[in-house]
Structure 1
Amino acid sequence: MTSRRKVTNSHINDEFAQVLQQHEEGQKGHNEAKDEGLGSDRGNVLLLLFLYVLQGIPLGLAGSIPMILQNRHVSYKDQATFSLSFWPFSIKLLWAPLVDSLYINKMGRRKSWLVPAQYLIGFFMLLLSSVINDLLGEDSQHTPNVVFITCVFFALNFLAATQDIAVDGWALTILSRNNVGWASTCNSVGQTAGYFMGYVVFLALESKDFCINYLGQKDSLVTLPGFLYFWGIIFCITTTAVWLLKHEKDNLEVTVDDPDFGLVGTYQILGRILKLRPIQDLIIVLLTCKIGFAAADSLTGLKLIESGVPKDRLALLSIPLTPVQVLLPFYISRYTAGPKPLNPFMVGYPLRLLFGFVFAGIVWITPVFKQDDGSYPFYYYCIIVFIYLIHQVFANCMFVGVMAFFARISDSSVGGTYMTLLNTFTNLGGNWPAWIALRYVSELTWKSCSGVVNILSCNNKHNEEACESEGGVCITDIDGYYVESVILVIFGFLWMKWGLKTIKRIQNLPTSAWTVSKRNG
């Protein structure tokens, strides 16, 4: 559950960063919109909302795949491999200037990328619907083809990230000046709704147990092939409608504060930002600060499934967490106003680190709650939700503090490029430690063969099969999850000695230390 939520947050982070950066302007826009009404922009707001919903569908489906793979008993190395499919949204800065600069005039600046990206997503889904069961090992004795699945969902997320770049840009020109503040709302609400349908709703309706016990059905209501086929058709139909019926019209009044430097100019601006010494120190902080959370964020949910907690129940636990994730940042933002926005980050960091031990403890005692029929009582899920809610407070203290700091230091003349660059390193700082944690947890796990004298170890597939063929049972003596939890949390506290000192230093720098433009220099 944690790793999936993390993927959604990394996507929402970009939008909330824009909200913080443009808070005063956006609030003014909303107030004016309230007075005057949406008027002719009502249809444009609904269109943007729907496009962001579509964007969230493949993200939600990608988030559900690790849950399905865990039930297929794939290795954690395979889970690490699949985690690479989430990277496109963290590295979209690499091709964002291309999407902004290269286009077909006749088709439109944004539709030149939006239409092909959405068509390809639809075709991918239609094609995938016919082979996904074979790839996941559903209808055969073959093991899941994790590498191929990873490539497919990497491509889907790459296309969704490209669509995101195009829609974000279109949102600034499709809405009038008074209503441009609705762009962030459409992104946050639409994308969250799409992810919710692709992840929570799909896993719930795909679960036979959930449909029988809670919906009174005799079987699951949807299958993964059917879900992919349905949304593939929706993507193709709606993309055709947008292509033929919706025309672009640039609103120069909106874009005047976000100058177009062109393809080469944008990459030159990125280079100038990266040469700043404070930026280099900040990047090192961003790439290393989440190492201590890697085991808790990437492995806890999978370990709960391994203990027998149904994946659909874990998905449903996201329901009470979703409003907290959306509303809590806005409450915390009142404490990030002023010259010290990173103070909440420094307060929340050690407390969030301690939750690495809390999550490890929950995984440790989870089998105690397991009932004779293999189910878990209602109060167990209440405990899980309560712990995650508290964890969200500390996680959002860090998140909001960082986003507010980004908004304060970003050079306003290149604000979009500046913020996207910083968010890229923020997301990468969470992705690479998660991959390491998933990749090496098996190497830190020690299993022994019980009941067979001549076989001592079950630490590889060959020995495990040999043990079981001889009538033995593989027993986990040392779980790498707990090893990683302890090592990484300790690393996190050691990191604080350097990291918090560095954070205090860069937070005290004047705004001029972060500027790159001649206008602000």
Structure 2
Amino acid sequence: MFFLGFSAGLPYLLVFSTLTVWLAEAGVSRSAIGFFGWVGMTFSIKMLWAPVIDQLPIPWFTKKLGRRRSWMLAAQIFIVLALLLMAFIHPAENLVLFAFAAVLVAFGSATQDISIDAFRIESAASEYQGEMAATYIFGYRVALLVSGAGALYIAEASNWTVSYLAMAALMGVGIITALFVKEPENSAQRQNNCKVAWLKNAFVEPFTDFFHRQAPYAILILMLIGLYKVSDITMGIMANPFYLDLGFSKL
């Protein structure tokens, strides 16, 4: 779980505080940098497509790797491609395309989180979930150091393109882990040939079950999940540009 946690944590700062340093140094306006905070909202709303990830098979991948590993690997490859796209775009020259690439990284990262969480829950009995979660978080925190301070050091020593290329290469840690880790035994794909029934089972029933179980607090719980980090996402993203304006270096 350490390596999967590392893979999950690596992209986060690359579309958050590390990214804002790049934008500030490229001369992007502070108001435009602030709008990049909305990229982080992807992580808060991943619950919306999580039921689909749980049900939808990926052609060839799911057959070869299983339901959880296939989505992990697909998301990781998606993140690598999106990071490569970001690496070769100068934000001052094509900010719209750069923002689109950042959204792709965030979407891939959120999707990877969904699949890794499902993998972790299904891979061990409930009495071992604490150890699994702790190992995962440890890897996640190490990745934050790498994609934060590590990416900044590389950018200072070389440039931002090299820095993001290095981060894309480090996603290989997760890819290798997804290829060699064992698929949980109880994650067999549930087949349903009826599209209406599949949509109901994948998207409608999970939310119906949630509202049934959590009534009358379901709306409040969803609001808490969706909004509790909004202040960090919207204000925290401006911290590094603020420090740079005060005269601090990115190191």
Shorter chain as denominator, the TM-score bin is 0.7 to 0.9
C-alpha contact (below 8 Å) 1:59/1:157 kept by paired residues = yes
Q: What is the distance in 1 between the residues matched to 2:213 and 2:219?
A: 9
**Residues 1:200 and 1:168: Cα distance change in structure 2 (over 3 Å):** same
**Structure 1 residue corresponding to 2:151, chosen from 202, 214, 232:** 202
Counterpart residue type for residue 77 of structure 2: Y
C-alpha distance in 1 between matches for 2:229 and 2:173: 41
The Cα shift of 1:190 comes to 1.2
| 1:250 lines up with 2:185 in the alignment | yes
Quote how far apart the aligned CAs of 1:194 are.
Answer: 0.8
Residue by residue over 1:277-323, the C-alpha shift from the partner in whole angstroms, topping out at 9 and shown as x without a partner, is: x44456668888888889864545433322222232xxxxxxxxxxx
Larger Cα Rg: Structure 1 or Structure 2? Answer: 1
**1:296 and 1:231 mapped to 2: Cα distance?**
25
Indicate whether 1:62 and 2:12 are aligned: no
| Cα distance in 1 for residues equivalent to 2:69 and 2:36 | 30
Matched, 1:304 2:243: yes
Gaps of 5+ in 2: 188-199
- Answer whether contact 2:83 2:101 (CA < 8 A) is retained: no
Matching of residue 267 in structure 1 with residue 230 in structure 2: no
Cα distance in 2 between the residues matched to 1:83 and 1:284: 18
Query: Residues 125 and 296 of structure 1: is their aligned pair in 2 closer, same or farther, counting only changes over 3 Å?
Result: closer
* Alignment partners' CA distance in 2, 1:182 and 1:86: 28
Q: What TM-score results when the alignment is normalised by the length of structure 1?
A: 0.40
Alignment of 1:45-444 (within 5 A): 48-63=1-16, 64-103=18-57, 106=63, 107-129=65-87, 131-132=88-89, 135-136=90-91, 143-176=92-125, 178-207=127-156, 220=157, 222-236=158-172, 239=175, 242-243=178-179, 245-250=180-185, 262-263=201-202, 264-272=204-212, 276=216, 278-280=217-219, 297-312=236-251
Structure-2 change in CA distance of 1:294 and 1:262 (3 Å):
closer
CA distance change for structure 1 residues 61 and 102 in 2, over 3 Å: closer, same or farther?
same
Corresponding letter in the other structure for 2:34 = A
Whole-angstrom CA distance in 2 between matches of 1:112 and 1:290: 29
For residues 128 and 4 of structure 2, the distance between their equivalents in structure 1, rounded to whole angstroms, comes to: 17
AA in 1 matched with 2:182: H
* CA distance in structure 2 between the aligned counterparts of 1:285 and 1:249, rounded to whole angstroms: 31
Shift of 1:118: 0.9
Q: Distance in 2 between matches of 1:200 and 1:92?
A: 27
Greater relative contact order (Cα < 8 A, sep 6+)? 2
Following the alignment from structure 2 to structure 1, what is the Cα–Cα distance between the partners of residues 79 and 232? 32
SS in 2 for 1:181: helix
Letter in 1 for 2:242: K
The SS at the match of 2:178 is helix
Per-residue deviation at 1:204? Answer: 3.0
1:81 aligned partner, one-letter code: F
Amino acid at match of 2:108: L
Distance 2:9 2:52 in 1: 22
1:121, CA displacement in angstroms?
A: 1.5
- TM-score, normalised with respect to structure 2: 0.77
Question: How far off is 1:100 after superposition?
Answer: 1.7
User: 2: distance between equivalents of 1:237 and 1:285?
Assistant: 33
CA-based RMSD of the aligned residues comes to: 3.3
2:38 touches 2:234 (CA, 8 Å); kept in 1? no
**% same residue:** 21
Task: Quote the offset at 1:249 in angstroms.
Answer: 3.0
Shift of the 92–234 alpha-carbon distance from structure 1 to 2, 3 Å rule, reads: same
Indicate if the aligned counterparts of 2:77 and 2:175 stay in contact, CA closer than 8 A: yes
Q: Which amino acid aligns with 2:75?
A: A
Residue in 1 aligned with 2:196?
A: none
Compared CA separation, residues 123 and 296, structure 1 to 2 (3 A)? closer
CA distance in 2, matches of 1:237, 1:288: 31
